[in-house]
Structure 1
């Protein structure tokens, strides 16, 4: 094979597309000898303790030659221009990064490599991959070393951007105001795929017959990570405590029903869906959450990376429940209100419930109590009446306050004899209550009616109302009689 002559070698050196340096490190070799004579054995520790020692080494490097790619990379006109600006090229964090190459040479290695930062003469930062090779016949005096400096700025910028993006993504995950879970659903996909393979077409029917499939699916979920908001939401001191008690968090029949519907969503191919679910904190308190399920992009094929975002809607659900309660209940007596009573009448009429009985109660002389003792005393009488009525009504029966001092006990499927027994119980309870409140006894007029075939419930209500008024007239007639005497 023909040998390259000096001219060809020179041309190859000059035309190489990568920056090449020929450097003389012999003065560094002499410096190493001095340090060894001083007892230095661990060069890395020695250099790391004082970067001035690194600077001392770099300043002893003598540049013998560079190629055109080097001049272009560092924006130098020629070798003299480059050498004049070496302090501008080799600075700042470069000294820390130079330690690996110096240690390799100290240890007698013929090659070294490191990633470093240099600067062009105009101040442009350049990330480089530096590689050095001690040339033949220079192993003992380090007088000729070939150094390559490959520009990897674009690569390093991409790495830095990737790191920044990753840190940003992790920060968004950790500090998100929503509780976030990252989970592996791959085993669930495998289970559903198997059902299709064996010919199952109707998953809902299959789950009716095999409810254990739901529990098995929940058990196969693998939690990969949770954020701080998740720990806060479920009152977990740390991730380990949460995962150790995951059954408590996901427990309850509500979760089984919710996950059943989630399986149906996945079966239908809905990889992004949301629903309201009920979970539990580690202290047993209820958590209503809006769960948003999404499979990460590029994981649609195996569901091995799934995100569940949970927004705590417990306060909202409590507010909704309270508003619903207010819509159907009387706040003072805790009985149902007039709106509920009329809706219940319509429901019983639509369903043709028979018989239906009603007990109509009206407090006697409540206005007199308000006038003589004040409205707080009147409210107390109403509250006591509500408590008594609640003691005799259990579903499907209901008690409602339909006016200021008027109450109805609605009794579906109750005949007249059942109604009479309830009235007797009511009167006994009023009598007992009055013994404890002798200074402010309750007087009540009671009317009752039981539906006849084909009679409207409005007519039944009117008959009970009429009977109540008969009793009320008797009360006031007696009152007038006693006042005359």
Structure 2
């Protein structure tokens, strides 16, 4: 009759076949070491060991491995227990000792067990991320000479977590340091508001917004800004995200109501990606022309809870475009309209009126003589003075233009002969004031005027005004007693 196995035999058997890595260790030398440090007056064990790396080396050297199980040999790629125990220097190295401070702190506080996330290395050089749990076995609390340690290999989880962390860090870096302004916003309440309107049976949303403009304002107020990047702070002159978000009403105002109305119409029609040009404002009040791209992220299209906006500052481009447009319609020297604009306006008036149209033709007297005697810079200065006079004398919808070297014209819709004469009187009066302001040679103008009452007559009116101007110019030179060709 065979005898029953002893409890010790059961332990040995379970230890060997356990599906987790098990280590039986002797911590008695560690207890002696800790008792010695405590006797020396050490209170903060963590600060104490971090102050001298050799102390953690003492900690590692004081631990003695007695046995390991089969799963441990497999985990650490060891052929047998003797080989593993002889190679513990390869297993416990690198950043393991630094992380072991957490274990030491738990033992120092009097705990009979501890847990920790740490790093070991297999005999073939692979790094293992392991979660360690240790327990001083019952009956050995006085000496710590028997400690059962289990290791759980969670390398895949830690690796995936680290990969995810790096991926998130990379994405955050791209977001924060993007060369364009990025906004992450929550439009979920806007979606609910639109859904409510649709549920009421509204089909003509454009008319609905015209009747209820307050709905646009409500939707603007319900947008929640989740995050912005660094370039956004620079673009809008904010020192911090908090400062920008606390004053968001200064950024989205004015023309934004109209452009946001267009944005809502697109969202109503299912356009979840949009781009348009808008005007925002910096916190200092300066207008910022923006090219905006708006996209509801794919995985949030069911509730619009995450929207990405990219804003590109096109203020410089807009200024350049405006300047080019200005140059296309203005004379650079006098700042009046140029001949191209004059011809276009003349054609427009001949087609549409409104009638009558007064045509005033003006020529500067004596420009050639000034250029010959004083140089073209002096002549240009006199032409600029003509521009000053006409700019002050002529108000919209009339327009004053330089149509040649020293030739100017004023087109005045809905103006009869009496109104045209009043305009000429203003020009003459301002000319006198201009001559009082500028010393030296006085500015002199020859002026002719005619009225057109229909499109067929406007060209003839231009010719009559031109003839009247030349007649006045002839009288001017006759009074001076000089030849016209010298003028």
| CA displacement at 1:414 relative to structure 2 | 0.8
Aligned to 1:331: 332
Instruction: Using the TM superposition, name which of 165-174 and 318-327 deviates more.
Output: 165-174
Aligned to 1:410: 411
> Are the aligned partners of 1:357 and 1:419 in contact in 2 as well (CA < 8 Å)?
yes
CA distance in structure 2 between the aligned counterparts of 1:100 and 1:445, rounded to whole angstroms: 99
| TM-score where L is the length of structure 1 | 0.92
Equivalent of 1:155, from 154, 157, 163? Answer: 157
> Are the aligned partners of 1:29 and 1:141 in contact in 2 as well (CA < 8 Å)?
yes
> Are the aligned partners of 2:350 and 2:456 in contact in 1 as well (CA < 8 Å)?
no
Equivalent of 1:58, from 60, 69, 74? Answer: 60
Structure 1, unaligned stretches of length 5 or more? none
CA distance in structure 2 between the aligned counterparts of 1:4 and 1:430, rounded to whole angstroms: 125
CA distance in structure 2 between the aligned counterparts of 1:379 and 1:361, rounded to whole angstroms: 16
Deviations 1:359-390 (A, max 9, x none): 01111221111111111111111111111111
| CA displacement at 1:431 relative to structure 2 | 2.8
Aligned to 2:235: 233
Deviations 1:424-480 (A, max 9, x none): 222222233233446312222211111134524223222222222222233334444
Q: 1:429 to 1:47 in 2, by over 3 A?
A: closer
Deviations 1:48-92 (A, max 9, x none): 433433322322222222122222222222111111111121112
> Are the aligned partners of 1:66 and 1:79 in contact in 2 as well (CA < 8 Å)?
yes
CA distance in structure 1 between the aligned counterparts of 2:237 and 2:110, rounded to whole angstroms: 59
Aligned to 1:357: 358
Deviations 1:85-105 (A, max 9, x none): 111211122112122323333
* Aligned residue-pair number: 481
The residue matched to 1:274 in structure 2 has which SS?
A: strand
The residue matched to 2:105 in structure 1 has which SS?
A: helix
1:22 and 2:21 are equivalent in the alignment: no
Aligned to 2:472: 471
Q: 1:481 to 1:129 in 2, by over 3 A?
A: closer
Aligned to 1:305: 306
Alignment of 1:123-162 (within 5 A): 123-162=125-164
Q: 1:38 to 1:424 in 2, by over 3 A?
A: closer
| CA displacement at 1:394 relative to structure 2 | 1.3
Instruction: Using the TM superposition, name which of 335-344 and 126-135 deviates more.
Output: 126-135
> Are the aligned partners of 1:51 and 1:95 in contact in 2 as well (CA < 8 Å)?
no
The residue matched to 1:455 in structure 2 has which SS?
A: helix
Structure 2, unaligned stretches of length 5 or more? none
> Are the aligned partners of 2:350 and 2:454 in contact in 1 as well (CA < 8 Å)?
no
> Are the aligned partners of 2:293 and 2:311 in contact in 1 as well (CA < 8 Å)?
yes
CA distance in structure 1 between the aligned counterparts of 2:406 and 2:195, rounded to whole angstroms: 64
> Are the aligned partners of 2:353 and 2:413 in contact in 1 as well (CA < 8 Å)?
no
Aligned to 1:104: 106
Aligned to 2:369: 368
| TM-score where L is the length of structure 2 | 0.92
CA distance in structure 1 between the aligned counterparts of 2:89 and 2:15, rounded to whole angstroms: 25
Q: 1:5 to 1:341 in 2, by over 3 A?
A: same
Aligned to 2:315: 314
Instruction: Using the TM superposition, name which of 220-229 and 433-442 deviates more.
Output: 433-442
CA distance in structure 2 between the aligned counterparts of 1:57 and 1:453, rounded to whole angstroms: 107
Aligned to 1:213: 215
Deviations 1:221-278 (A, max 9, x none): 22222222222112222233323332222222x1111111122222222222121111
> Are the aligned partners of 2:337 and 2:399 in contact in 1 as well (CA < 8 Å)?
yes
Deviations 1:324-354 (A, max 9, x none): 0000000111100011111112222332422
